[in-house]
Chain A
Amino acid sequence: MRAIEQVAGTGVPLLLDDIDTDRIIPARYLRCVTFDGLGEHAFEDDRRQDPDHPFDDPRFQGSSILLVGRNFGCGSSREHAPQSLIRWGIKAIVGESFAEIFFGNCTSLGVPAVCANRSALEMLSDAVQENPKQEMIVDLVANQVQFSDESISCEIPKSARSVLLSGQWDFLSQLLQAEDQIRETAAQLPYLTNFA
């Protein structure tokens, strides 16, 4: 897999807290056997109820960095949520905090989800509102989000940073390498050996 050191692009601001994955992709769009076509339905119900939703705002079309609040992606484990954001064009997310399963799904898909403090996020969001064409860079090497002449510091758990920077975010190939140890561990578990 490709190493991900930096993600550059324009931002789309959505500084709300506790956005759950049902809102990111409503359950009726989970009636599918591939992730194709999910992009157009990202935030569909929120967008229908809010004509000013940033995902419909012409100024933010083509953006690749999503700015969010606290506990983004809470609720359902559906990988359809990050898959729909990716298909809409999102390549990195900057937020105050993330729900755990959502964060893991993002990492598995090579989407850095980095945390920044609220005041820094508000500054970033203001900058994007003021100039939607403002390019920004999520820099995992420097642990920073850079924009214009400024930068804010951001954090991502060490293990996620490590797999993204080394291009090992495809966990499957790593896990497969340990087949012998997997079988050894299994052979020692009481419930796989008749509780002998």
Chain B
Amino acid sequence: MSDRRNLFNKIWDLHEVGTLPSGQTQLLIGQHLIHEVTSPQAFAILRERGLNVMFSERTLATVDHIVPTINQTRPFADDLAEEMMTVIERNCHEFGVMLLDLDDDRQGIVHVIGPELGVTQPGITLVCGDSHTSTHGAFGCIALGIGTSQIADVLATQTLALNRPKVRRIEVTGQLQLGVFAKDAILHIIRTLGIRSGVGYAYEYAGSVFDDMSMEGRMTVCNMSIEGGARCGYVNPDQTTINDLRGRPRAPQGEVFDRATEWWLSLASGPDAEFDDHVVIDGTEIEPTVTWGINPGQSVAVNERIPAISSFPQDEQSGVYEALTFMDLTEDQPIRGLEIDVAFIGSCTNSRISDLRQAADIVKGNKVADQVRALVVPGSQQVQCQAEQEGLDRTFTEAGFEWRSAGCSMCLAMNPDKLVGREICASSSNRNFKGRQGSPTGRTLLMSPAMAAAAAVNGCVTDVREMLKSGPVL
């Protein structure tokens, strides 16, 4: 009989250690990633209780959130940031965890380097103290964000206490139009399904749009699962996945790779796999999408107007009013043409080489508008190096962008990269929450890297399709 389990449930079943008295599953975690912000207190718990890291080779550490992207000389100017660096270095040394520190050319945003190194693989369970861990699901694994107490659980036991979520298959049919990117697809999905509907679910992204999508595009989509409420999102492994993994330093090599491939592909949800819910979205209708509000579900297509408050259900209207007031926008206002002060291209959502190529393709031969401050922050040192080899850094700097070193940067502004006052930012990041980009009153418009580049050049929100020079940039 065929296995009607979906990929999520196949992987979950393999990793079940047992059932806890509460009814929760004790789930084995195959790969743990840590960074400097959410791990210090977890190591403190281990010390307090006299515990060791059970499988130290299954945890990999890097630094990304607080690292400056201009001057990375130690000690950092920010004493608090410096202390966090010192603490993760000491913790990793003491507990035998491999740390990819700033002086290691494999350092970068944790959700960029996992896939880059081949640490992220189909069929594994992967966790990290960061909600965007869902990114790794692009490879067909169970990847979820956890809190600091749970980091301690994983360090000490390589397991977590979890309830099995339901699985919703989100099928996006057809093809994306030229100038419509993975970012637009996920913003459209979140706008359609809402920011709460994913709670209690893992999302399976399926259908021709994802079949045709590159691994980096799939990462962008899975990355923002959490913005739709789903702690975990994934795409089934296919030949695109296998091609991406081949030759990565931490992926299996040679004959082992072939055995691995067979297993990886066997995990994919079959044509008769069962799901708790199934939605279908027409991919041909997706337009370049921009947020106008204070959560990632509050978005419109670039040529739409901001919706009327009265078009929302009664119990949503006060939230919409709050969003418009904070953003200083009005109902029925076109989003296109809205002036921006800052453009940020980066973050675990959109800082990979294809993102930078797509943005550079728009920027090439243009200049950043006079009033706009624009920066590009590659997701990892390897992305930075690759981009520099391709000359993308010069494309950006000649246009007036700042070209920075790898890190999370202005996505959450824990480092010196921040909005100032009421600045409004065209951003390729993942959250437009109030104050997210470092100024408590600063404003964020989420969009694809190509759209952010177009906004930087024109000084306002622009339909990137008007600026496309060539065919699709992959």
Q: Residue A181 contacts which of B18, B256, B315 (CB distance < 8 angstroms)?
A: B18
- Interface contact A23-B156, CB-CB below 8 Å: no
Number of interface residues of A (CB under 8 A): 63
- Interface contact A99-B435, CB-CB below 8 Å: no
- Interface contact B438-A28, CB-CB below 8 Å: yes
B23 at the interface (CB under 8 A from A): yes
- Interface contact B149-A191, CB-CB below 8 Å: no
B218 at the interface (CB under 8 A from A): no
CB contacts (< 8 Å) of B131 on chain A: these are 75-77, 101
Binds B, one of A138-146, A147-155, A159-167: A159-167
Q: Residue B440 contacts which of A48, A70, A185 (CB distance < 8 angstroms)?
A: A48
B246 at the interface (CB under 8 A from A): no
Question: Scoring B residues 435 to 460 as 1 if CB is less than 8 Å from chain A, else 0, what string do you get?
Answer: 11010110000000000000000000
CB contacts (< 8 Å) of A178 on chain B: these are 17-18, 26, 157, 159
- Interface contact B315-A118, CB-CB below 8 Å: yes
Given A23-B433, A75-B431, A100-B199, the answer on whether A31 and B157 have CB atoms closer than 8 Å is: no
- Interface contact A77-B263, CB-CB below 8 Å: no
A28 to B413, CA, bound (A): 7
A190 at the interface (CB under 8 A from B): yes
Question: Scoring A residues 26 to 44 as 1 if CB is less than 8 Å from chain B, else 0, what string do you get?
Answer: 1110111111000000000
A46 to B81, CA, bound (A): 24
- Interface contact B83-A79, CB-CB below 8 Å: no
- Interface contact B24-A159, CB-CB below 8 Å: yes
Q: Residue B412 contacts which of A27, A49, A191 (CB distance < 8 angstroms)?
A: A27
- Interface contact B150-A108, CB-CB below 8 Å: yes
Min CB–CB distance B37 → chain A (angstroms): 5
- Interface contact A108-B158, CB-CB below 8 Å: no
CB contacts (< 8 Å) of A18 on chain B: these are 195-196, 295, 319
Q: Residue A31 contacts which of B16, B81, B156, B231 (CB distance < 8 angstroms)?
A: B81
- Interface contact A33-B84, CB-CB below 8 Å: yes
Binds B, one of A52-60, A126-134, A169-177: A169-177
A168 at the interface (CB under 8 A from B): yes
- Interface contact B434-A45, CB-CB below 8 Å: yes
* Interface size range on B against A: 35 or more
Question: Scoring B residues 72 to 86 as 1 if CB is less than 8 Å from chain A, else 0, what string do you get?
Answer: 000000101101100
Which partner residue on chain A sits nearest B316 by CB separation? A17
Given A30-B37, A189-B14, the answer on whether A79 and B28 have CB atoms closer than 8 Å is: no
A7 at the interface (CB under 8 A from B): no
A28 to B124, CA, bound (A): 33
CB contacts (< 8 Å) of A185 on chain B: these are 15-17, 28
- Interface contact A182-B54, CB-CB below 8 Å: yes
Min CB–CB distance A49 → chain B (angstroms): 7
CB contacts (< 8 Å) of B84 on chain A: these are 31-33
CB contacts (< 8 Å) of A175 on chain B: these are 26, 153, 156-157, 159-161
CB contacts (< 8 Å) of A159 on chain B: these are 20, 22-24, 161, 163
Given A77-B147, A100-B229, the answer on whether A28 and B431 have CB atoms closer than 8 Å is: no
Q: Residue B414 contacts which of A27, A99, A190, A195 (CB distance < 8 angstroms)?
A: A27
B307 at the interface (CB under 8 A from A): no
CB contacts (< 8 Å) of A182 on chain B: these are 17, 26, 28, 54, 157-159
Given A77-B147, A100-B231, the answer on whether A34 and B157 have CB atoms closer than 8 Å is: no
- Interface contact B435-A45, CB-CB below 8 Å: yes
Given A20-B295, A22-B412, the answer on whether A168 and B21 have CB atoms closer than 8 Å is: yes
A14 at the interface (CB under 8 A from B): no
Which partner residue on chain A sits nearest B319 by CB separation? A17
- Interface contact B22-A168, CB-CB below 8 Å: yes
- Interface contact B83-A23, CB-CB below 8 Å: no
B354 at the interface (CB under 8 A from A): no
CB contacts (< 8 Å) of B129 on chain A: these are 77, 79
A176 to B303, CA, bound (A): 55
Question: Scoring B residues 139 to 171 as 1 if CB is less than 8 Å from chain A, else 0, what string do you get?
Answer: 000000111111011001111110100000000
Residues of A within 8 A of B (CB): 16-18, 20, 22-23, 26-28, 30-35, 45-46, 48-49, 70-71, 74-79, 97, 99-101, 104-105, 108-109, 118, 157-160, 162-163, 166, 168, 171-172, 174-176, 178-179, 181-182, 185-186, 188-192, 194-196
- 7 CB contacts below 8 A, A to B, read A49-B440, A79-B38, A101-B226, A159-B22, A159-B163, A174-B21, A189-B30
